[in-house]
Amino acid sequence: MANGKIVGDYEMDPKSGLRPCGIAQCHTAHRHGYIVELDSEIRSYVGRDCGKSQFGVNWQQMHKTFRLEKQRLSRDRAIREVRSSLLTEIDNWRSLENDETSWAREMLKAFDEMPDAIRKTIESRANSADTAIFELRKETPEEVRRRAFRESYDSRRLPPPKLITVPLGKLRGLAGLRPSTRVDRILDVKVPNLLREARALVLSDASTADELGAMSKELLGIEGRINRAIDQLHKFVDHHNLDLLPHIRALQQYGVHSIRHEVTEGAHKFIIGPR
């Protein structure tokens, strides 16, 4: 048995009764042990404790070889399973186009048709995730008097009014305009690229289970990503949000007074109102 090879392990059910292993004179009721293949190809059983006590260094090497082989087989099985699952996912891929994605495409087309300076100003806000909108105004006489009192000014010589920042709100839906999260680019660029990369991973012998699993997870999450982007676009065209846009100082410099979103006979259009 010392020259054998561990080919499996076992665990007995205590309710069915524990028994000694295959070593001669073993009187220990083992619950855990290993299946050993002898030189004669006959298989026997060695209890975990007997293996340690009877075979010493040989057992340690035998057990190490078995453990490494078991880990390798487990990895190979995991890779086969996730590769098969990913291939099924690719082969059964369905179109993600629907009424909502059509709406998003038309809305983004209308956004792209805005004058360059206006569109790029809004895109800059989207890319920087800068959503705060505020205006600057001078202090009122009453605000000047209150500040003078707080700062212990001579009541006969009030300070000049300061410019103060007044928060107006926060822009919503800008994430739907970023290049990486635009619905049209996800559908037309991201999805085809992902499917090509996924198939290449499936066909590569060098792919790991982690790589295959990560790709499967990304494909499974793409529909949710599209739905979130569409939700952002709905928030962007809300009239309360569009009312905030003309307060962006750069847009004021371009003479923008108002921005409206209209749909006429199925065609989307942003109407820019000059001052």
Place 24 in a pLDDT band, splitting at 50, 70 and 90: low
- Percent of the chain at pLDDT > 90 equals 53
- Residue 260 pairs in a beta bridge with 271
Between strands 32-37 and 5-11, the pairing is antiparallel
Tell me whether residue 85 is in a domain. Answer: no
pTM over 0.95: no
Residues 9 and 57 in one domain: yes
**Residue 178 CB-half CA count within 13 A:** 16
Instruction: Judge contact between 177 and 123, C-beta under 8 A.
Output: yes
Q: Give pLDDT, residue 155.
A: 65
CA 36 to chain centre: 46
- Considering the domain architecture, whether residues 186 and 255 belong to the same structural domain is answered as yes
Let me know: does 164 contact 139? Beta carbons within 8 Å: yes
Whether residue 89 lies inside any domain: the answer is no
In a domain, 159, yes or no: yes
pLDDT category of residue 21 using cuts at 50, 70 and 90: confident
Residues 157 and 185 both lie in one domain = no
In the predicted model, is pLDDT for residue 32 greater than 80?
A: no
Q: Is the pLDDT of residue 14 over 90?
A: no
Tens digits of per-residue pLDDT, 62-106?
777 778 887 777 777 878 888 898 999 999 999 999 999 999 999
122, 148, 169 - which closes a domain:
169
Of 12, 34, 13, nearest to 23 (Cα)?
Answer: 34
* pLDDT over threshold 80, residue 234: yes
Inside any domain, residue 38: yes
Domain span at residue 205 reads 99-131+171-274
13, 43: one domain:
yes
- The token duo for 115 is 């004058």
163-170 and 132-138 as β-strands: parallel, antiparallel, unpaired? antiparallel
Please report which confidence band the pLDDT of residue 275 belongs to, taking 50, 70 and 90 as the band edges. Answer: low
Residue 63 placed within a domain: yes
Would 267 be classed as within a structural domain? yes
Are 161 and 211 in the same domain? no
| Residue 139 three-state SS | coil
Task: Answer yes or no: do 152 and 113 share one domain.
Answer: no
Q: Average model confidence (pLDDT) for the chain? A: 87
d(C-alpha 90, C-alpha 106), whole Å: 28
Q: Which amino acid is at 208?
A: T
The C-alpha atoms of residue 243 and residue 52 are separated, in whole angstroms, by 78
* pLDDT value at 57 more than 70: no
Cα gap 235→242, rounded to integer Å:
9
Looking at the predicted structure, is the pLDDT value of residue 58 above 70? Answer: no
Residue 195: inside a domain? yes
Residue 122 shares a structural domain with residue 150: no
For the residues 15-42, what does the mean pLDDT come to? 75
Edge to edge, what strands does the sheet with 43-47 contain? Answer: 5-11, 32-37, 43-47
Mean pLDDT of 154-172: 87
Across residues 235-257, what is the average pLDDT?
94
Q: Can you tell me the mean pLDDT for 28-55? A: 75
Q: 117-145, pLDDT tens digit by residue?
A: 999 999 999 999 899 999 988 999 898 88
H helical segments located in the chain: 48-91, 99-112, 116-128, 141-150, 183-185, 191-203, 209-236, 239-244, 249-253
Report the pLDDT averaged over residues 57-65.
71
Whether 227 and 265 map to the same domain: the answer is yes
Residue 103 and residue 217 in one domain: yes
* 233 and 115 assigned to the same domain: yes
Query: Helix 191-203 and helix 48-91: axis angle, to 10°?
Result: 140
**138 and 106 inside one domain:** no
- pLDDT (tens digit, 9 = 90+) per residue, 167-194? 999 999 999 999 999 999 999 999 999 9
Same domain, 147 and 220: no
CB proximity list for 208: less than 8 A, separation 6 or greater: 79
Q: Residue 62: is it exposed, middle or buried by C-beta count within 10 angstroms (0-12/13-18/19+)? A: buried
For the chain, how many structural domains are there in total?
A: 3
Give 120's Cβ-side CA count (13 Å radius). Answer: 4
Q: Which of 47, 69, 64 is nearest to 1 (CA)?
A: 47
